[in-house]
Structure 1
Amino acid sequence: MEPSRLRRAVEAGRATATELGLQVDDVTVVHDSDRVALRLVPCDVLVRVAPSGDLAGSAFEVEVAHRLTGVGAPVAGLEPRGGGRVHVRDGFAVSLWTYYEPVGTEVAPPAYADALRRHHAALRRIDLDAPRFTDRIAAALAEVTDRERSPELPDRDRELLSGTLTGLSTPISAERAGDQLLHGEPHPGNLLNTSRGPLFVDLATCCRGPVEFDLAHAPEEVERHYPGADHGLALRCRALNWAMFSSWRWRRDDRMPERDRWRAEGLDRVRAALDRLGPGRPPAGT
Protein backbone atom coordinates (compact mmCIF):
# COMPACT_ATOMS: atom_id res chain seq x y z
CA MET A 1 0.00 0.00 0.00
CA GLU A 2 1.05 3.61 -0.41
CA PRO A 3 2.59 4.98 2.81
CA SER A 4 -0.39 7.15 3.77
CA ARG A 5 -2.84 4.33 3.12
CA LEU A 6 -0.63 1.88 5.00
CA ARG A 7 -0.66 4.17 8.04
CA ARG A 8 -4.46 4.26 7.93
CA ALA A 9 -4.62 0.47 7.58
CA VAL A 10 -2.34 0.01 10.59
CA GLU A 11 -4.47 2.37 12.65
CA ALA A 12 -7.66 0.58 11.55
CA GLY A 13 -6.19 -2.73 12.70
CA ARG A 14 -5.00 -1.29 15.99
CA ALA A 15 -8.28 0.50 16.72
CA THR A 16 -10.39 -2.56 15.89
CA ALA A 17 -8.39 -4.77 18.25
CA THR A 18 -8.43 -2.16 21.03
CA GLU A 19 -12.19 -1.78 20.69
CA LEU A 20 -12.49 -5.55 21.18
CA GLY A 21 -10.64 -5.25 24.49
CA LEU A 22 -7.22 -6.43 23.31
CA GLN A 23 -4.06 -4.74 24.59
CA VAL A 24 -2.01 -3.26 21.76
CA ASP A 25 1.28 -1.59 22.65
CA ASP A 26 3.04 -2.16 19.35
CA VAL A 27 2.22 -3.09 15.74
CA THR A 28 4.57 -4.80 13.29
CA VAL A 29 3.83 -4.98 9.56
CA VAL A 30 4.30 -8.64 8.60
CA HIS A 31 3.20 -8.34 4.97
CA ASP A 32 2.36 -5.34 2.79
CA SER A 33 0.71 -5.58 -0.65
CA ASP A 34 -2.89 -4.91 -1.69
CA ARG A 35 -3.74 -6.27 1.78
CA VAL A 36 -1.59 -5.99 4.87
CA ALA A 37 -0.94 -8.38 7.73
CA LEU A 38 -0.08 -6.93 11.15
CA ARG A 39 1.20 -8.53 14.33
CA LEU A 40 -0.16 -6.89 17.46
CA VAL A 41 1.62 -7.23 20.82
CA PRO A 42 1.32 -8.02 23.67
CA CYS A 43 -2.08 -9.53 22.74
CA ASP A 44 -0.18 -11.55 20.07
CA VAL A 45 -2.80 -11.44 17.35
CA LEU A 46 -2.41 -11.34 13.56
CA VAL A 47 -4.67 -8.82 11.86
CA ARG A 48 -5.41 -8.83 8.15
CA VAL A 49 -6.52 -5.48 6.73
CA ALA A 50 -7.97 -5.14 3.23
CA PRO A 51 -9.65 -2.26 1.39
CA SER A 52 -13.39 -2.25 2.12
CA GLY A 53 -13.95 -2.88 -1.59
CA ASP A 54 -12.63 -6.37 -0.84
CA LEU A 55 -15.14 -6.91 1.98
CA ALA A 56 -16.70 -9.86 0.14
CA GLY A 57 -13.28 -11.48 -0.27
CA SER A 58 -12.46 -11.01 3.41
CA ALA A 59 -15.83 -12.42 4.44
CA PHE A 60 -15.29 -15.40 2.12
CA GLU A 61 -11.88 -16.07 3.68
CA VAL A 62 -13.39 -16.02 7.19
CA GLU A 63 -16.14 -18.43 6.10
CA VAL A 64 -13.57 -20.81 4.56
CA ALA A 65 -11.56 -20.71 7.80
CA HIS A 66 -14.63 -21.47 9.91
CA ARG A 67 -15.51 -24.51 7.84
CA LEU A 68 -11.99 -25.88 7.49
CA THR A 69 -11.07 -25.59 11.16
CA GLY A 70 -14.29 -27.46 11.88
CA VAL A 71 -12.99 -30.50 9.99
CA GLY A 72 -9.42 -30.34 11.29
CA ALA A 73 -7.72 -28.93 8.20
CA PRO A 74 -4.07 -27.79 8.52
CA VAL A 75 -4.95 -24.09 8.30
CA ALA A 76 -4.37 -21.02 10.43
CA GLY A 77 -7.38 -20.34 12.62
CA LEU A 78 -9.33 -17.21 13.46
CA GLU A 79 -8.61 -15.39 16.72
CA PRO A 80 -11.49 -16.27 19.10
CA ARG A 81 -11.36 -12.80 20.66
CA GLY A 82 -12.02 -11.25 17.24
CA GLY A 83 -15.64 -12.39 17.15
CA GLY A 84 -15.09 -14.68 14.16
CA ARG A 85 -16.19 -12.04 11.66
CA VAL A 86 -14.98 -9.17 9.49
CA HIS A 87 -15.00 -5.69 11.01
CA VAL A 88 -15.30 -2.57 8.85
CA ARG A 89 -13.40 0.52 9.98
CA ASP A 90 -12.26 3.66 8.14
CA GLY A 91 -12.66 2.14 4.70
CA PHE A 92 -10.99 -1.16 5.56
CA ALA A 93 -12.13 -4.74 6.16
CA VAL A 94 -10.39 -6.08 9.28
CA SER A 95 -10.19 -9.71 10.42
CA LEU A 96 -8.32 -11.16 13.40
CA TRP A 97 -6.35 -14.41 13.25
CA THR A 98 -4.30 -16.58 15.57
CA TYR A 99 -0.62 -15.68 15.48
CA TYR A 100 1.73 -18.64 15.10
CA GLU A 101 5.39 -18.27 15.97
CA PRO A 102 7.38 -19.62 13.00
CA VAL A 103 9.63 -22.64 13.49
CA GLY A 104 12.61 -22.84 11.13
CA THR A 105 12.42 -21.40 7.63
CA GLU A 106 11.13 -23.98 5.16
CA VAL A 107 8.80 -26.97 5.19
CA ALA A 108 10.50 -30.08 3.78
CA PRO A 109 8.91 -31.41 0.56
CA PRO A 110 7.47 -34.63 2.12
CA ALA A 111 5.83 -32.63 4.94
CA TYR A 112 4.64 -30.01 2.45
CA ALA A 113 3.02 -32.69 0.27
CA ASP A 114 1.41 -34.36 3.29
CA ALA A 115 -0.02 -31.05 4.52
CA LEU A 116 -1.44 -30.33 1.06
CA ARG A 117 -2.90 -33.83 0.80
CA ARG A 118 -4.60 -33.44 4.19
CA HIS A 119 -5.79 -29.97 3.22
CA HIS A 120 -7.36 -31.34 0.03
CA ALA A 121 -9.01 -34.14 1.99
CA ALA A 122 -10.52 -31.59 4.39
CA LEU A 123 -11.72 -29.45 1.47
CA ARG A 124 -13.60 -32.48 0.12
CA ARG A 125 -15.50 -32.65 3.42
CA ILE A 126 -17.01 -29.16 3.25
CA ASP A 127 -19.69 -27.67 1.03
CA LEU A 128 -18.80 -24.22 -0.21
CA ASP A 129 -19.85 -22.05 -3.13
CA ALA A 130 -16.48 -21.16 -4.65
CA PRO A 131 -15.46 -19.94 -8.13
CA ARG A 132 -13.76 -22.24 -10.60
CA PHE A 133 -10.05 -21.65 -11.25
CA THR A 134 -10.96 -20.52 -14.76
CA ASP A 135 -12.48 -17.33 -13.30
CA ARG A 136 -9.02 -16.28 -12.15
CA ILE A 137 -7.55 -17.08 -15.55
CA ALA A 138 -10.22 -14.92 -17.19
CA ALA A 139 -9.38 -12.06 -14.82
CA ALA A 140 -5.68 -12.32 -15.70
CA LEU A 141 -6.49 -12.46 -19.40
CA ALA A 142 -8.58 -9.30 -19.06
CA GLU A 143 -5.52 -7.49 -17.71
CA VAL A 144 -3.23 -8.39 -20.60
CA THR A 145 -5.77 -7.88 -23.40
CA ASP A 146 -6.67 -4.37 -22.19
CA ARG A 147 -3.82 -1.99 -23.02
CA GLU A 148 -5.15 0.63 -20.63
CA ARG A 149 -4.85 -1.81 -17.71
CA SER A 150 -1.33 -2.94 -18.72
CA PRO A 151 0.12 -0.04 -20.75
CA GLU A 152 3.79 -0.99 -20.20
CA LEU A 153 3.46 -4.59 -21.38
CA PRO A 154 5.36 -5.00 -24.70
CA ASP A 155 3.31 -6.42 -27.59
CA ARG A 156 5.55 -9.48 -27.87
CA ASP A 157 5.03 -10.34 -24.22
CA ARG A 158 1.33 -9.49 -24.37
CA GLU A 159 0.99 -12.10 -27.11
CA LEU A 160 2.99 -14.62 -25.04
CA LEU A 161 0.78 -14.21 -21.97
CA SER A 162 -2.57 -14.09 -23.75
CA GLY A 163 -1.64 -17.11 -25.88
CA THR A 164 -0.51 -19.11 -22.85
CA LEU A 165 -3.56 -18.24 -20.75
CA THR A 166 -5.95 -19.12 -23.56
CA GLY A 167 -4.09 -22.07 -25.04
CA LEU A 168 -3.50 -23.90 -21.76
CA SER A 169 -6.69 -23.08 -19.87
CA THR A 170 -9.07 -24.30 -22.59
CA PRO A 171 -8.06 -28.01 -22.56
CA ILE A 172 -7.57 -28.07 -18.76
CA SER A 173 -10.96 -26.48 -18.06
CA ALA A 174 -12.75 -28.86 -20.41
CA GLU A 175 -12.11 -31.78 -18.03
CA ARG A 176 -14.15 -31.40 -14.84
CA ALA A 177 -14.14 -34.97 -13.52
CA GLY A 178 -11.21 -34.33 -11.18
CA ASP A 179 -12.40 -30.96 -9.89
CA GLN A 180 -12.64 -30.32 -6.16
CA LEU A 181 -12.23 -27.39 -3.76
CA LEU A 182 -8.63 -26.13 -3.71
CA HIS A 183 -6.57 -23.71 -1.67
CA GLY A 184 -5.91 -21.74 -4.86
CA GLU A 185 -2.41 -20.46 -4.09
CA PRO A 186 -0.58 -22.86 -1.72
CA HIS A 187 2.86 -21.47 -2.55
CA PRO A 188 5.62 -21.48 0.12
CA GLY A 189 4.69 -17.96 1.23
CA ASN A 190 1.25 -19.25 2.23
CA LEU A 191 2.51 -22.21 4.28
CA LEU A 192 3.68 -21.53 7.83
CA ASN A 193 6.08 -23.87 9.60
CA THR A 194 4.77 -23.85 13.19
CA SER A 195 5.03 -25.89 16.38
CA ARG A 196 1.67 -27.39 15.38
CA GLY A 197 3.07 -28.45 12.02
CA PRO A 198 2.64 -26.83 8.59
CA LEU A 199 -0.43 -24.56 8.36
CA PHE A 200 -1.86 -22.91 5.25
CA VAL A 201 -2.87 -19.24 5.29
CA ASP A 202 -4.48 -16.80 2.82
CA LEU A 203 -7.66 -18.81 2.32
CA ALA A 204 -9.41 -16.18 0.19
CA THR A 205 -8.05 -17.82 -2.97
CA CYS A 206 -10.16 -20.98 -2.47
CA CYS A 207 -11.57 -22.18 -5.82
CA ARG A 208 -12.54 -25.34 -7.69
CA GLY A 209 -10.29 -27.23 -10.06
CA PRO A 210 -7.87 -30.17 -10.33
CA VAL A 211 -5.44 -30.73 -7.43
CA GLU A 212 -2.60 -30.25 -9.92
CA PHE A 213 -3.55 -26.56 -10.09
CA ASP A 214 -2.58 -26.33 -6.40
CA LEU A 215 0.48 -28.53 -6.82
CA ALA A 216 1.78 -26.20 -9.52
CA HIS A 217 2.13 -23.44 -6.90
CA ALA A 218 4.39 -25.58 -4.71
CA PRO A 219 8.06 -26.45 -5.38
CA GLU A 220 8.34 -29.27 -7.91
CA GLU A 221 9.85 -31.64 -5.36
CA VAL A 222 6.54 -31.47 -3.44
CA GLU A 223 4.67 -32.84 -6.43
CA ARG A 224 6.84 -35.98 -6.39
CA HIS A 225 5.63 -36.78 -2.87
CA TYR A 226 1.93 -36.19 -3.57
CA PRO A 227 0.16 -39.52 -4.24
CA GLY A 228 -1.65 -39.88 -7.55
CA ALA A 229 -0.53 -36.60 -9.06
CA ASP A 230 -0.76 -36.22 -12.84
CA HIS A 231 2.69 -34.81 -13.53
CA GLY A 232 1.89 -33.78 -17.11
CA LEU A 233 -1.14 -31.82 -15.96
CA ALA A 234 0.86 -30.25 -13.13
CA LEU A 235 3.47 -29.07 -15.64
CA ARG A 236 0.78 -27.43 -17.77
CA CYS A 237 -0.72 -25.81 -14.68
CA ARG A 238 2.73 -24.53 -13.68
CA ALA A 239 3.06 -22.68 -16.98
CA LEU A 240 -0.47 -21.36 -16.59
CA ASN A 241 0.20 -20.15 -13.05
CA TRP A 242 3.35 -18.29 -14.08
CA ALA A 243 1.38 -16.64 -16.88
CA MET A 244 -1.23 -15.48 -14.34
CA PHE A 245 1.48 -14.27 -11.97
CA SER A 246 3.12 -12.30 -14.79
CA SER A 247 -0.21 -10.79 -15.83
CA TRP A 248 -0.73 -9.36 -12.33
CA ARG A 249 2.75 -7.84 -12.32
CA TRP A 250 2.06 -5.90 -15.52
CA ARG A 251 -1.09 -4.28 -14.15
CA ARG A 252 -0.81 -0.52 -14.13
CA ASP A 253 -1.71 -0.38 -10.42
CA ASP A 254 0.30 -3.40 -9.21
CA ARG A 255 2.16 -2.64 -5.96
CA MET A 256 4.21 -5.79 -5.45
CA PRO A 257 7.70 -5.04 -4.05
CA GLU A 258 10.47 -5.36 -6.66
CA ARG A 259 7.83 -5.39 -9.38
CA ASP A 260 10.26 -4.75 -12.24
CA ARG A 261 12.38 -7.74 -11.26
CA TRP A 262 9.31 -9.98 -11.00
CA ARG A 263 8.02 -8.74 -14.34
CA ALA A 264 11.17 -9.97 -16.06
CA GLU A 265 11.50 -13.17 -14.03
CA GLY A 266 7.82 -14.05 -14.45
CA LEU A 267 8.08 -13.90 -18.23
CA ASP A 268 11.28 -15.98 -18.14
CA ARG A 269 9.49 -18.60 -16.01
CA VAL A 270 6.59 -18.74 -18.49
CA ARG A 271 8.97 -19.35 -21.40
CA ALA A 272 10.92 -21.99 -19.48
CA ALA A 273 7.72 -23.83 -18.53
CA LEU A 274 6.46 -23.74 -22.11
CA ASP A 275 9.80 -25.07 -23.38
CA ARG A 276 9.42 -28.04 -21.03
CA LEU A 277 6.02 -28.81 -22.52
CA GLY A 278 7.65 -29.25 -25.91
CA PRO A 279 5.54 -30.08 -29.02
CA GLY A 280 1.88 -29.35 -28.62
CA ARG A 281 2.48 -26.29 -26.42
CA PRO A 282 -0.13 -23.52 -26.82
CA PRO A 283 0.33 -20.94 -29.57
CA ALA A 284 2.03 -17.92 -28.02
CA GLY A 285 4.58 -15.26 -28.73
CA THR A 286 8.22 -16.35 -28.88
Structure 2
Amino acid sequence: MEPSELRRAVEAGRTTASELGLQVDDAIVIHNSDRVALRLVPCDVLARVAPSGHLADSAFEVEVARRLTDVDAPVAELDPRVEHRIYLRDAFAVSLWTYYEPVGPEIAPADYADVLLRHHAALRQIDLDAPHFTDRVAVALREVNDRERSPELPGSDRELLSSTLGGLSAAISIDRAGDQLLHGEPHPGNLLNTRRGPLFVDLATSCRGPIEFDLGHAPEEVGKHYAGADHDLIHRCRALNWAMFSAWRWRRDDHMPDRDHWRAEGLNQVRAALDRRGPG
Protein backbone atom coordinates (compact mmCIF):
# COMPACT_ATOMS: atom_id res chain seq x y z
CA MET A 1 0.00 0.00 0.00
CA GLU A 2 1.07 3.56 -0.60
CA PRO A 3 2.03 5.52 2.57
CA SER A 4 -1.26 7.42 2.87
CA GLU A 5 -3.33 4.26 2.41
CA LEU A 6 -1.07 2.36 4.79
CA ARG A 7 -1.64 4.93 7.53
CA ARG A 8 -5.40 4.57 7.13
CA ALA A 9 -5.15 0.78 7.13
CA VAL A 10 -3.09 0.79 10.34
CA GLU A 11 -5.61 3.08 12.01
CA ALA A 12 -8.49 0.86 10.84
CA GLY A 13 -6.81 -2.17 12.43
CA ARG A 14 -6.03 -0.35 15.68
CA THR A 15 -9.48 1.15 16.05
CA THR A 16 -11.30 -2.08 15.26
CA ALA A 17 -9.40 -4.02 17.93
CA SER A 18 -9.71 -1.23 20.52
CA GLU A 19 -13.47 -0.95 20.10
CA LEU A 20 -13.76 -4.71 20.68
CA GLY A 21 -12.13 -4.28 24.09
CA LEU A 22 -8.56 -5.30 23.19
CA GLN A 23 -5.72 -3.14 24.52
CA VAL A 24 -3.80 -1.56 21.66
CA ASP A 25 -0.89 0.74 22.49
CA ASP A 26 0.98 0.24 19.24
CA ALA A 27 0.66 -1.36 15.79
CA ILE A 28 3.73 -2.88 14.13
CA VAL A 29 3.62 -3.43 10.36
CA ILE A 30 4.77 -6.99 9.67
CA HIS A 31 3.89 -7.16 5.98
CA ASN A 32 2.73 -4.55 3.48
CA SER A 33 1.53 -5.45 -0.02
CA ASP A 34 -2.03 -5.56 -1.37
CA ARG A 35 -3.02 -6.36 2.21
CA VAL A 36 -1.36 -5.34 5.46
CA ALA A 37 -0.52 -7.54 8.45
CA LEU A 38 -0.18 -5.74 11.78
CA ARG A 39 0.95 -6.95 15.18
CA LEU A 40 -1.14 -5.13 17.77
CA VAL A 41 0.46 -4.85 21.20
CA PRO A 42 0.15 -5.53 24.08
CA CYS A 43 -2.99 -7.58 23.20
CA ASP A 44 -0.87 -9.65 20.77
CA VAL A 45 -3.34 -9.77 17.91
CA LEU A 46 -2.42 -10.11 14.25
CA ALA A 47 -4.72 -7.81 12.28
CA ARG A 48 -5.05 -8.45 8.56
CA VAL A 49 -6.31 -5.34 6.81
CA ALA A 50 -7.36 -5.22 3.15
CA PRO A 51 -9.12 -2.63 0.99
CA SER A 52 -12.85 -3.35 0.97
CA GLY A 53 -12.52 -4.40 -2.68
CA HIS A 54 -10.91 -7.56 -1.26
CA LEU A 55 -13.84 -8.17 1.09
CA ALA A 56 -14.82 -11.47 -0.57
CA ASP A 57 -11.25 -12.84 -0.30
CA SER A 58 -10.98 -11.78 3.35
CA ALA A 59 -14.33 -13.35 4.21
CA PHE A 60 -13.33 -16.55 2.40
CA GLU A 61 -10.10 -16.72 4.42
CA VAL A 62 -12.01 -16.38 7.70
CA GLU A 63 -14.40 -19.15 6.68
CA VAL A 64 -11.52 -21.46 5.70
CA ALA A 65 -9.84 -20.80 9.05
CA ARG A 66 -13.01 -21.49 11.02
CA ARG A 67 -13.61 -24.81 9.31
CA LEU A 68 -10.01 -25.98 9.50
CA THR A 69 -9.76 -25.09 13.18
CA ASP A 70 -12.79 -27.34 13.81
CA VAL A 71 -10.86 -30.33 12.41
CA ASP A 72 -7.62 -29.48 14.24
CA ALA A 73 -5.68 -28.53 11.13
CA PRO A 74 -2.16 -27.07 11.54
CA VAL A 75 -3.24 -23.49 10.81
CA ALA A 76 -3.08 -20.13 12.54
CA GLU A 77 -6.34 -19.47 14.37
CA LEU A 78 -8.60 -16.47 14.59
CA ASP A 79 -8.39 -14.57 17.87
CA PRO A 80 -10.66 -16.34 20.41
CA ARG A 81 -11.57 -13.12 22.24
CA VAL A 82 -13.66 -11.65 19.44
CA GLU A 83 -16.31 -12.81 17.00
CA HIS A 84 -14.84 -14.64 14.04
CA ARG A 85 -15.89 -12.43 11.16
CA ILE A 86 -14.82 -9.50 8.97
CA TYR A 87 -15.05 -6.01 10.45
CA LEU A 88 -15.53 -3.10 8.06
CA ARG A 89 -13.97 0.27 8.86
CA ASP A 90 -13.04 3.24 6.67
CA ALA A 91 -13.24 1.21 3.42
CA PHE A 92 -11.09 -1.59 4.86
CA ALA A 93 -11.89 -5.21 5.73
CA VAL A 94 -10.28 -6.22 9.03
CA SER A 95 -9.86 -9.72 10.46
CA LEU A 96 -8.26 -10.45 13.83
CA TRP A 97 -6.01 -13.47 14.38
CA THR A 98 -3.90 -15.02 17.12
CA TYR A 99 -0.33 -13.72 16.95
CA TYR A 100 2.33 -16.45 17.04
CA GLU A 101 5.89 -15.58 17.97
CA PRO A 102 8.27 -17.28 15.51
CA VAL A 103 10.60 -19.75 17.23
CA GLY A 104 13.34 -22.21 16.42
CA PRO A 105 15.36 -22.86 13.27
CA GLU A 106 14.19 -23.26 9.69
CA ILE A 107 11.68 -26.10 9.28
CA ALA A 108 13.41 -29.25 8.01
CA PRO A 109 12.13 -30.75 4.72
CA ALA A 110 10.81 -33.91 6.41
CA ASP A 111 8.88 -31.84 8.97
CA TYR A 112 7.61 -29.55 6.22
CA ALA A 113 6.30 -32.56 4.29
CA ASP A 114 4.69 -33.98 7.44
CA VAL A 115 2.78 -30.80 8.26
CA LEU A 116 1.67 -30.47 4.62
CA LEU A 117 0.43 -34.08 4.66
CA ARG A 118 -1.55 -33.35 7.84
CA HIS A 119 -2.91 -30.15 6.34
CA HIS A 120 -4.06 -31.94 3.19
CA ALA A 121 -5.74 -34.60 5.34
CA ALA A 122 -7.59 -31.87 7.26
CA LEU A 123 -8.63 -30.17 4.02
CA ARG A 124 -10.22 -33.44 2.88
CA GLN A 125 -12.46 -33.33 5.95
CA ILE A 126 -14.15 -30.01 5.15
CA ASP A 127 -16.68 -29.09 2.49
CA LEU A 128 -15.88 -25.75 0.93
CA ASP A 129 -16.77 -24.08 -2.36
CA ALA A 130 -13.34 -23.08 -3.65
CA PRO A 131 -12.05 -22.20 -7.12
CA HIS A 132 -9.98 -24.62 -9.17
CA PHE A 133 -6.32 -23.68 -9.55
CA THR A 134 -6.96 -23.16 -13.28
CA ASP A 135 -9.27 -20.26 -12.39
CA ARG A 136 -6.36 -18.54 -10.67
CA VAL A 137 -4.11 -19.24 -13.65
CA ALA A 138 -6.72 -17.68 -15.95
CA VAL A 139 -6.63 -14.46 -13.90
CA ALA A 140 -2.82 -14.35 -14.13
CA LEU A 141 -3.01 -15.00 -17.87
CA ARG A 142 -5.38 -12.06 -18.35
CA GLU A 143 -2.89 -9.80 -16.55
CA VAL A 144 -0.10 -10.96 -18.85
CA ASN A 145 -2.10 -10.69 -22.08
CA ASP A 146 -3.51 -7.24 -21.29
CA ARG A 147 -0.80 -4.70 -22.13
CA GLU A 148 -2.64 -1.95 -20.27
CA ARG A 149 -2.60 -3.99 -17.07
CA SER A 150 1.08 -5.00 -17.43
CA PRO A 151 2.55 -2.18 -19.57
CA GLU A 152 6.20 -2.66 -18.51
CA LEU A 153 6.39 -6.38 -19.30
CA PRO A 154 8.82 -6.86 -22.25
CA GLY A 155 7.44 -8.63 -25.30
CA SER A 156 9.66 -11.72 -25.10
CA ASP A 157 8.89 -12.16 -21.40
CA ARG A 158 5.19 -11.65 -22.04
CA GLU A 159 5.32 -14.47 -24.59
CA LEU A 160 7.23 -16.71 -22.15
CA LEU A 161 4.70 -16.16 -19.34
CA SER A 162 1.69 -16.49 -21.62
CA SER A 163 2.85 -19.79 -23.13
CA THR A 164 3.92 -21.18 -19.75
CA LEU A 165 0.67 -20.27 -17.99
CA GLY A 166 -1.56 -21.51 -20.78
CA GLY A 167 0.37 -24.65 -21.68
CA LEU A 168 1.15 -25.95 -18.21
CA SER A 169 -2.31 -25.17 -16.83
CA ALA A 170 -3.89 -27.23 -19.59
CA ALA A 171 -1.42 -30.09 -19.21
CA ILE A 172 -1.69 -30.32 -15.41
CA SER A 173 -5.49 -30.18 -15.37
CA ILE A 174 -6.12 -32.95 -17.94
CA ASP A 175 -6.69 -35.54 -15.19
CA ARG A 176 -8.70 -34.14 -12.26
CA ALA A 177 -9.47 -37.48 -10.61
CA GLY A 178 -7.01 -36.84 -7.77
CA ASP A 179 -7.89 -33.18 -7.19
CA GLN A 180 -8.68 -32.04 -3.66
CA LEU A 181 -8.89 -28.87 -1.61
CA LEU A 182 -5.44 -27.28 -1.23
CA HIS A 183 -3.75 -24.49 0.70
CA GLY A 184 -2.91 -22.85 -2.63
CA GLU A 185 0.39 -21.17 -1.69
CA PRO A 186 2.14 -23.14 1.09
CA HIS A 187 5.55 -21.55 0.46
CA PRO A 188 7.98 -21.00 3.39
CA GLY A 189 6.65 -17.48 3.97
CA ASN A 190 3.22 -18.97 4.75
CA LEU A 191 4.46 -21.61 7.21
CA LEU A 192 5.31 -20.34 10.69
CA ASN A 193 7.48 -22.25 13.16
CA THR A 194 5.72 -21.66 16.50
CA ARG A 195 5.63 -23.11 20.01
CA ARG A 196 2.61 -25.13 18.81
CA GLY A 197 4.65 -26.48 15.91
CA PRO A 198 4.52 -25.43 12.23
CA LEU A 199 1.30 -23.59 11.31
CA PHE A 200 0.06 -22.45 7.90
CA VAL A 201 -1.15 -18.89 7.39
CA ASP A 202 -2.63 -16.88 4.49
CA LEU A 203 -5.55 -19.20 3.83
CA ALA A 204 -7.28 -17.00 1.25
CA THR A 205 -5.42 -18.81 -1.54
CA SER A 206 -7.23 -22.11 -0.93
CA CYS A 207 -8.23 -23.80 -4.20
CA ARG A 208 -8.77 -27.23 -5.74
CA GLY A 209 -6.17 -29.19 -7.67
CA PRO A 210 -3.56 -31.96 -7.32
CA ILE A 211 -1.46 -32.04 -4.14
CA GLU A 212 1.58 -31.46 -6.38
CA PHE A 213 0.31 -27.91 -6.99
CA ASP A 214 0.94 -27.23 -3.29
CA LEU A 215 4.24 -29.10 -3.31
CA GLY A 216 5.36 -26.89 -6.20
CA HIS A 217 5.35 -23.96 -3.76
CA ALA A 218 7.44 -25.73 -1.11
CA PRO A 219 11.25 -26.09 -1.16
CA GLU A 220 12.33 -28.80 -3.60
CA GLU A 221 13.54 -31.23 -0.89
CA VAL A 222 10.05 -31.35 0.64
CA GLY A 223 8.55 -33.33 -2.23
CA LYS A 224 11.05 -36.16 -1.64
CA HIS A 225 9.52 -36.73 1.81
CA TYR A 226 5.87 -36.58 0.70
CA ALA A 227 4.63 -40.13 0.15
CA GLY A 228 2.98 -40.81 -3.20
CA ALA A 229 3.83 -37.49 -4.84
CA ASP A 230 4.39 -37.38 -8.62
CA HIS A 231 7.76 -35.67 -8.94
CA ASP A 232 7.42 -34.84 -12.64
CA LEU A 233 4.11 -33.16 -11.86
CA ILE A 234 5.74 -31.22 -9.00
CA HIS A 235 8.29 -29.82 -11.47
CA ARG A 236 5.51 -28.75 -13.84
CA CYS A 237 3.61 -27.11 -11.01
CA ARG A 238 6.73 -25.31 -9.79
CA ALA A 239 7.22 -23.72 -13.21
CA LEU A 240 3.53 -22.79 -13.34
CA ASN A 241 3.63 -21.27 -9.84
CA TRP A 242 6.64 -19.12 -10.67
CA ALA A 243 4.89 -17.96 -13.84
CA MET A 244 1.87 -16.88 -11.78
CA PHE A 245 4.13 -15.15 -9.26
CA SER A 246 5.80 -13.29 -12.12
CA ALA A 247 2.45 -12.29 -13.62
CA TRP A 248 1.43 -10.63 -10.34
CA ARG A 249 4.72 -8.74 -10.08
CA TRP A 250 4.33 -7.22 -13.57
CA ARG A 251 0.86 -5.84 -12.83
CA ARG A 252 0.76 -2.08 -13.10
CA ASP A 253 -0.75 -1.78 -9.61
CA ASP A 254 1.36 -4.40 -7.81
CA HIS A 255 2.70 -3.15 -4.45
CA MET A 256 5.05 -5.92 -3.37
CA PRO A 257 8.17 -4.51 -1.66
CA ASP A 258 11.32 -4.64 -3.79
CA ARG A 259 9.15 -5.32 -6.83
CA ASP A 260 11.87 -4.74 -9.43
CA HIS A 261 14.05 -7.42 -7.86
CA TRP A 262 11.17 -9.91 -7.78
CA ARG A 263 10.18 -9.15 -11.35
CA ALA A 264 13.63 -10.26 -12.53
CA GLU A 265 13.89 -13.12 -10.03
CA GLY A 266 10.46 -14.47 -10.96
CA LEU A 267 11.35 -14.68 -14.65
CA ASN A 268 14.70 -16.30 -13.82
CA GLN A 269 12.93 -18.92 -11.71
CA VAL A 270 10.42 -19.64 -14.50
CA ARG A 271 13.27 -20.30 -16.93
CA ALA A 272 15.16 -22.42 -14.40
CA ALA A 273 12.07 -24.50 -13.61
CA LEU A 274 11.37 -25.06 -17.30
CA ASP A 275 14.99 -26.08 -17.87
CA ARG A 276 14.79 -28.65 -15.05
CA ARG A 277 11.68 -30.11 -16.65
CA GLY A 278 13.51 -30.66 -19.90
CA PRO A 279 11.97 -30.69 -23.38
CA GLY A 280 8.19 -31.26 -23.71
How far does residue 106 in structure 1 lie from its aligned partner after superposition?
1.7
How far does residue 103 in structure 1 lie from its aligned partner after superposition?
0.4
d(CA) in 1 for partners of 2:57, 2:266: 26
Which letter does structure 1 place at the counterpart of 2:6? L
Which letter does structure 1 place at the counterpart of 2:2? E
Q: Deviations over 1:22-56 (max 9, x none)?
A: 11111101111100010111111110001101111
Alignment of 1:39-118 (within 5 A): 39-118=39-118
SS in 1 for 2:104: coil
d(CA) in 2 for partners of 1:219, 1:213: 13
Alignment of 1:238-253 (within 5 A): 238-253=238-253
SS in 1 for 2:30: strand
Q: Deviations over 1:164-183 (max 9, x none)?
A: 01111111112101100000
d(CA) in 1 for partners of 2:227, 2:106: 21
Q: Could you say which residue in structure 2 is the equivalent of 1:274?
A: 274
Q: Could you say which residue in structure 2 is the equivalent of 1:168?
A: 168
Q: Contact (CA 8 Å) 1:192, 1:199: kept in 2 or not?
A: yes
d(CA) in 2 for partners of 1:56, 1:246: 24
The alignment's C-alpha RMSD in Å is 0.7
Q: Deviations over 1:130-180 (max 9, x none)?
A: 000001100000001000001111110000000001111111112101100
Q: Could you say which residue in structure 2 is the equivalent of 1:234?
A: 234
Q: Percent identity between the aligned chains?
A: 79
Q: Deviations over 1:86-141 (max 9, x none)?
A: 00000000000001111024211111110000000000000000000001100000
Alignment of 1:24-39 (within 5 A): 24-39=24-39
Q: Could you say which residue in structure 2 is the equivalent of 1:179?
A: 179
Q: Could you say which residue in structure 1 is the equivalent of 2:129?
A: 129
d(CA) in 2 for partners of 1:232, 1:272: 15
SS in 2 for 1:28: strand
Alignment of 1:185-196 (within 5 A): 185-196=185-196
How far does residue 242 in structure 1 lie from its aligned partner after superposition?
0.5
d(CA) in 2 for partners of 1:273, 1:40: 39
Q: Does 1:259 align with 2:259?
A: yes
Q: Could you say which residue in structure 1 is the equivalent of 2:158?
A: 158
Q: Could you say which residue in structure 2 is the equivalent of 1:141?
A: 141
Q: Contact (CA 8 Å) 1:45, 1:79: kept in 2 or not?
A: yes
Q: Could you say which residue in structure 2 is the equivalent of 1:19?
A: 19
SS in 2 for 1:82: coil
- List gaps (5 residues or longer) in structure 1: 281-286
Q: Deviations over 1:68-97 (max 9, x none)?
A: 000010000000122111000000000000
d(CA) in 2 for partners of 1:33, 1:104: 26
Q: Could you say which residue in structure 2 is the equivalent of 1:284?
A: none
Which letter does structure 2 place at the counterpart of 1:4? S
d(CA) in 2 for partners of 1:23, 1:46: 13
Q: Contact (CA 8 Å) 1:47, 1:95: kept in 2 or not?
A: yes
Q: Contact (CA 8 Å) 1:69, 1:75: kept in 2 or not?
A: yes
SS in 1 for 2:81: helix
Which letter does structure 2 place at the counterpart of 1:239? A
d(CA) in 1 for partners of 2:74, 2:121: 10
Which letter does structure 1 place at the counterpart of 2:230? D
Q: Deviations over 1:204-252 (max 9, x none)?
A: 0000000000000000011111111100000000000010001111101
Which letter does structure 2 place at the counterpart of 1:72? D
d(CA) in 2 for partners of 1:76, 1:212: 23
SS in 2 for 1:40: strand
- List gaps (5 residues or longer) in structure 2: none
Q: Could you say which residue in structure 2 is the equivalent of 1:222?
A: 222
